[in-house]
Amino acid sequence: MKRALEGGTIVALVAVPWLFPDAYVVHVMVVVFIFSILATGLDLVMGYCGQFSFGQAAFYGIGAYTSALLVRDLGAPFWVTLPASTLVAAAFGALLGIPAVRLAGHFLAVTTIAFQVIVTLVLTQWHGFTGGTAGITGIPSPPPIHALGRTWVSFDSPQGYYHLSLVVALVVVTLARRLTTTRLGQEWLAVREDELLAKTLGINTTKVKLLAFTLGAALAGTAGSLIAHYLRNVHPSEFTIWTSAEIVAMVILGGRGTFLGPILGALVLTTLPEYLRFAKDYKLVLFGLTLIVMTAFLPQGVLGGLRRLRDRTGAA
């Protein structure tokens, strides 16, 4: 039954550009896919391993800029920039991991915030290397796929990019989900539930946490490469502490430590401003208020809330 549901959803997703020819809808979905990758990556760190991180947008930016710089300075093609962005972001994830694994609670939260701000400031102020406040433009979309004398797919438009981002998102998210069922995934849960206990059981919690940060960052790097080749430019304002907070909101409000939660969160928070468009200039005010309300009434996220509802009605 579950398989059928999953299969059906995937088929529906694939069909979207034909069901909804409006380029704007397709564009929003591309953004949803990219943020699903970001949120899933963060969920590994926060949901499964239980470590705060307000730095996900920093790795997103590092991934995006890696792609941009490789294109600008070396003319690298997409199939090089995508893995490169993933690896470079992962390396920085490990870098943040070094102080992070020694800290907990508020100290950890502030360290990740500081890391995020440092990255944003470097991207904004290192004009010579990163283009500063102008960012980097002129990034090409991935080359179109020709075969048998016909162009099958061109990635210049939202419709063209849609299936690429869908495929990458599906692959990445499936791998992440697989990871959570392995031994490492179990050890993440152990660290989340009771780190001291895990240590006394012989689990090297430092390594476990470091891996969480590294892998979470790797996913963000992949997302960064995707956005860079989609928007065809990178700009520091896309990768700020506010972006990080949004991604945290997606994970928390969707339901952390679950497979669907981050995806749901990405979907809701990306599309929410669209539904608030009636408020025009004040839509972000409503967005902020919605966050407040949801944090107050759904601390376990939408999925957590549903689970509690089910437990309550089931146990009765």
Partner 1 sequence: MSSLDYFLQLAVNGVVTGGVYALVALGLTLIFGVLGIINFAHGEFYMLGAYLGLVLVMRLGAPFFVALPLAMAGMALGGIVAERLVFRRLRRTDPTQSILSAFGLAIALQTAALQIFGPQPAVIRTAFGATPVAFAGVHLTLQRLLIPFLAAALVLLFHLLVRRTWMGLSLRAVAQNPATASLMGIDVNAVAAATFAIGTALAAGAGVLMGSVFLMQPTMGSMVVLKSFTVVILGGMGNVYGAVGAGVLLGITESLTAGFLTNDFKDILAFLVVVLVLLLRPAGLFGQQVERQSL
Partner 2 sequence: MSLLELSLITRTFGGLIALDRVDLAVGAGEIVGLIGPNGSGKSTCINLVSGVLRPTGGRVLLDGVDITGLAPWHIARRGVVRTFQTLRLFADLSVLDNVLLAQHAHLTTGAVASAVRTSRARSEEGGILAEARRVLALVGLGDFESRAAQHLSIGQRRLLELARGLAARPRLFMLDEPAAGLSPPNVDRLIALVRRMRDEWGMTILLVEHVMKVVMQLSDRVVVLDHGVKIAEGPPAAVAEDARVIEAYLGTGVARADH
Contacting residues toward partner 2, per CB under 8 A: 178-179, 182-184, 186-187, 189-190, 193-194, 196-205, 211
234 φ/ψ angles, rounded to the nearest 5 degrees: -125, 145
Q: Which is nearer to partner 1, 182 or 237 (CB)?
A: 237
Q: How far is the CB of 269 from partner 2 (least distance, A)?
A: 26
Residue 287 interacting entry, from partner 1, partner 2, none, C-beta within 5 to 8 Å by type:
partner 1
Cβ partners under 8 Å of residue 212, min gap 6: 44, 45, 48, 49, 51, 97, 188
Residue 190 interacting entry, from partner 2, partner 1, none, C-beta within 5 to 8 Å by type:
partner 2
Asked if 56 and 42 touch (Cβ cutoff 8 Å), the reply is yes
Q: How far is the CB of 216 from partner 2 (least distance, A)?
A: 16
Classify 185 as helix, strand or coil. helix
Q: How far is the CB of 190 from partner 2 (least distance, A)?
A: 5
Q: How far is the CB of 114 from partner 1 (least distance, A)?
A: 4
Residue 205 is which amino acid?
T
**106-110 own/partner pairs: CB under 8 Å, 24+ apart:** 108/51, 108/52, 109/52, 109/54
Residue 201 interacting entry, from partner 1, partner 2, none, C-beta within 5 to 8 Å by type:
partner 2
Tokens encoding 295: 């944090």
Angle of the 2-19 helix axis to the 23-43 helix axis, nearest 10? 140
Residues within the interface to partner 1 (CB under 8 A): 46, 52, 54, 98-99, 102-107, 109-111, 113-115, 117-118, 121-122, 125-126, 196, 241-242, 245, 248-249, 252, 281-282, 284-292, 295-296, 299
Q: How far is the CB of 121 from partner 1 (least distance, A)?
A: 5
Residue 82 interacting entry, from partner 1, partner 2, none, C-beta within 5 to 8 Å by type:
none
Of 97, 53, 113, 109, the residue nearest 206 (C-alpha)? 97
Q: Which is nearer to partner 1, 115 or 213 (CB)?
A: 115
